[in-house]
Amino acid sequence: MAYSEEQMRRIIAEYGPSVWRLAMAWLHNTADAEDIYQEVFLKLIRAKPTFENDAHQKAWFLQVTANCCKDHLKKAGRRHAAEEQPPAAEPAGENDALEAALDALPDRYRTIIHLYYFEGYQTGEIAGILKMKPSTVRSGLKRARKRLKDFMEGEVLDV
Amino acid sequence: MFEDRYRKYHQKIRPSDALNRETLALMQEAQDHRASEPERGFRWRPAYTVALAGAAAALLALSLTAGFWFSRGAQYIEESGDLDTVVSGGSADRENAADVPETSGGATGAEDGATSEEQPEAAPPEEEGNGESGGEEAPSGGSDSDETAPSGGDSGGSAESDPETPTDSEPEKPSAGEEPEEPADPRDPVIINDDETRTYTTIRAFLDDLKNKKTEGYGTHYYTARELIIVPSLLPDNARFRHFYLYPQTGRYAYSYLFTAEGVDYLLDIKVDASSASTLKELNQQKEAIQEEKVLTKFSGNQMMVLFGTSDLVTVSLTAVGSDQELTREQVSALLEQFALERCSLTNTIVDLTY
Task: Determine the Cα–Cα distance for residues B150 and A98; give it in Å rounded to an integer.
Answer: 121
Band (pLDDT 50/70/90 cuts) for residue B269 is confident
Q: Look at residues B305, B28, B13 and name the one whose alpha carbon lies nearest to residue B142.
A: B305
**CA A71 to chain CA mean position, Å:** 14
- Residue A8 forms contact with B (CB below 8 Å): yes
- B184 versus B251: the higher-pLDDT residue is B251
Claim to verify: residue A33 and residue A62 sit in the same structural domain: yes
- Residue B150 confidence (pLDDT): 37
Same domain, A39 and A69: yes
> What integer pLDDT is reported at residue B65 of this predicted model?
92
- Residue B47 makes CB contacts below 8 A (sequence gap 6+) with none
Does A44 lie in the same domain as A23? yes
Cα–Cα dist B149/B139, whole Å: 6
Residues A47 and A120 in one domain: no
Q: Are residues A50 and A123 in the same domain?
A: no
pLDDT of residue B205: 66
Chain A residues with beta carbon closer than 8 angstroms to that of B31: 2-3, 45
Q: Are B124 and B245 in contact (CB under 8 A)?
A: no
Co-location of A145 and A106 in the same domain: yes
Same domain, A50 and A11: yes
Taking CA atoms, B324 is separated from A9, B110, B263, B264, in Å, by 127, 21, 15, 12
Q: Residue A10: which of A65, A54, A48, A52 has the closest Cα?
A: A54
Is A34 in contact with B19 (Cβ distance < 8 A)?
yes
CB atoms within 10 A of CB B124: 29
Q: For an interface test with A, give the residue of B16, B31, B40 to mutate (most A CBs within 10 A).
A: B31
Q: What is the pLDDT of residue A119?
A: 86
Report how far residue B255's alpha carbon sits from residue B125's, in angstroms, rounded to the nearest whole number: 10
Cross-chain CB nearest to B6 (options A2, A46, A117): A117
Q: Count of domains in chain A?
A: 2
pLDDT: which is higher, B98 or B26: B26
Are the beta carbons of A37 and B7 separated by less than 8 Å? no
Report the distance separating Cα A99 and Cα A151, nearest Å: 11
In the 8-state DSSP scheme, what is residue A122? -
**Cβ–Cβ < 8 Å for A145, A157:** yes
The reply to whether A57 and A10 lie within a common domain is: yes
Chain A residues in contact with B40 (beta carbon < 8 A): none
Any domain includes A43: yes
Output phi, psi for A125, to 5 deg.
Answer: -70, -40
Half-sphere exposure of B85 (CA within 13 A, CB side): 6
CATH of residue A7:
1.10.1740.10
Instruction: Indicate yes or no: CB of B15 within 8 angstroms of CB of A20.
Output: yes
Amino acid at residue number B241: F
A86, B14 in Cβ contact below 8 A? Answer: no
Asked if residues B343 and B308 have their Cβ atoms less than 8 Å apart, the reply is: yes
- Whether residue A37 lies inside any domain: the answer is yes
Residue A25 covered by a domain: yes
- Average pLDDT of span B204-224: 50
Q: Which residues from B are below 8 Å from A when comparing CB atoms?
A: 1-3, 5-15, 19-20, 22-24, 26-28, 30-31, 34-35
Query: How does residue A19 score in pLDDT terms, banded at 50, 70 and 90?
Result: very high
> What pLDDT, on the 0 to 100 scale, is given for residue B251?
63
Is A128 touching B (CB cutoff 8 A)? no
Q: Which of A80, A110, A132 is the C-terminal boundary of a domain?
A: A80
Instruction: Give the distance, in angstroms, between the CA of residue B226 and the centroid of all CA atoms in the same chain.
Output: 11
Question: Does residue A97 share a domain with residue A51?
Answer: no
Is the residue at A131 inside a domain?
yes
Instruction: Pick from A20, A30, A110 the residue to mutate for testing the B interface (most B CBs within 10 Å).
Output: A20
Question: CB contact, 8 Å: A155 with chain B?
Answer: yes
**Is pLDDT at B51 greater than 70 in this prediction?**
yes
Q: Are residues A7 and A69 in the same domain?
A: yes
Above 90 in pLDDT, residue B63? Answer: yes
CA distance A97 to chain B (A): 11
In chain B, which residue's Cα lies nearest the Cα of A48? B31
Residues 23 through 52 of chain A touching chain B, CB cutoff 8 Å: 24-25, 34, 37-38, 41-42, 44-46
Do residues A100 and A136 share a domain? yes
What is the domain partition of chain B in residue ranges?
Answer: 82-352
Determine the length of chain A.
159
Domain with A33, as residue range(s), is 1-80
pLDDT at B203: 63
pLDDT, tens only, B243-265: 667 666 666 778 788 888 888 88
The CATH number given to whatever domain includes residue A118 is: 1.10.10.10
Phi, psi angles (nearest 5°) of residue A76: -90, -10
Instruction: Tell me the C-alpha distance between B106 and B97, whole Å.
Output: 11
ipTM summary value: 0.79
Q: Is B237 helix (H, G, I), strand (E, B) or coil?
A: coil
Whether A17 is covered by a domain: the verdict is yes
Average pLDDT of chain A?
Answer: 80
Exposure class string for B257-284: b at 16+ Cβ within 10 A, else e: bbbbbeebbbbbbbbbbbbbbeeeeebe
Which residues in chain A are contacts of B30 at CB distance < 8 A? 42, 45-46
Phi/psi class of residue B46: alpha, beta or left (left: φ > 0; alpha: ψ in -120 to 50)? alpha
